[in-house]
Structure 1
Amino acid sequence: MSQRVSAARVAAAIDALTSSTTLGGLAQALCERAAEVTNIDEAVLVERSGGVDRQICRHPTNQSASPMSTGVTTSAEALLSSRQLTDLVTTVEISTTGPDVRLLIPGSLDPEQHDVVLLLADVASIVIDRLRAETDLAGQSARMQSLTDRMHALQQTLSGPLESSPDSNTSGFALAAGLLTDRERDILETLLSGASNAEIAVEYTLSIETVKTHVKHILRKMGASNRAELIARSG
């Protein structure tokens, strides 16, 4: 494994990881890209629980997806389905706030390849934590919307507005806005002024795709299905 690592492949791998929008998509991208940049074309991502390595994904995907028992030899057997069995398996830890996740690659890597795989693992760990945080925020947003709906329903049954919330729609909107990141709040303010994605991209020096992603996150966190509904809720 003495082939030089392609800088273009590394850049493409990082882009694929950072653009992942689901944990499953990220896991598959990590397996595929790690195998590609190391020129091995084989990798497995596993999660250890109760002393057993549970396979999350593998590349190529046409191999067995059954759970793997703990132990290097068994892991190597699972990895090297189309190769001569060897006890050399490179293991890279994926540091996250959740369960123990490891990337397994058959054979040994040269220093350059190892550094690149470590870089991809670090990028993946950041994206994993980001996606988990977004999932938590989505749950918080849904609960916040439920609370807003309950406040509105209660207000309808009373003779006057709730003392703690003169305008439940506006109050709920403000509470939901508190879940946004600083950049998302900036974009929300510009979006509410009627700016298009292209205008927002120019305003904040972002790509159109990045703006679309921010807008999608804003709509989800604010509990709105589209811009018109979001603007209407802003009061």
Structure 2
Amino acid sequence: MTAPHIGRGRAGRERLRFDGWIAGIGTSSGTRVVLGHWVRSPFGPFTDVMLERKDGHRVLLAPSAQTAHFVAGTYVFDEVRVVPVGVEADRGECTVAAPPLDLRFVTGRRGPVGLLLRAVPGPLAARPAWAVLVAPAAGALLGVRTHGSAGAGRYEWYGAKDLLPVTEARAVYEGEDLGSLAPVEPAVRFGFGSTPRRPCLVSVTTTVALEESRQAVPVR
């Protein structure tokens, strides 16, 4: 049985759950891209793109006003655009069309970290308590945080279930070729969310606890 995507924690805070994957990609131009592809969420399936330019300008590309409002309330951006976001993935190759961004990347074979994550039962990996327990190892191995405070009084937990290296990527933004694949550095500055320095795709369950004084996000 699939766990519900809306729940309530012990402190009474509304919790929203997002199941999908996150890809973190750096480019030789200095632009870094973080793609979130959510197969199941309180908003239905959707994909959003967080992009930070070399000069530090942070952009959110989201497919609807509702998702843009939620993501921009959780993270920090200098610019928010509502645009169609299309994703096609097949046999390790992913193509993303989110005007003004065109992105293509390829994933390789999973390594030891991916094998270790896949060995953890999915229901356990999705629990916020597990994200807290593995936080020290995630910081040491990948340089990322698995839980912490976000915007608008929210709190997040990231439960990773798999990791694949990104071995190839090409991106064009506003007609500019962003260059070849590179490490995700400097680290992106969207807020709590982070991504490993080495480009990768991580299967994840993200749980977001809303601020107690705020009403739950309406779900249709």
With normalisation by structure 2, the TM-score equals 0.24
Q: Which is bigger in relative contact order (C-alpha 8 A, separation at least 6)? A: 2
With normalisation by structure 1, the TM-score equals 0.23
More helix by share: 1
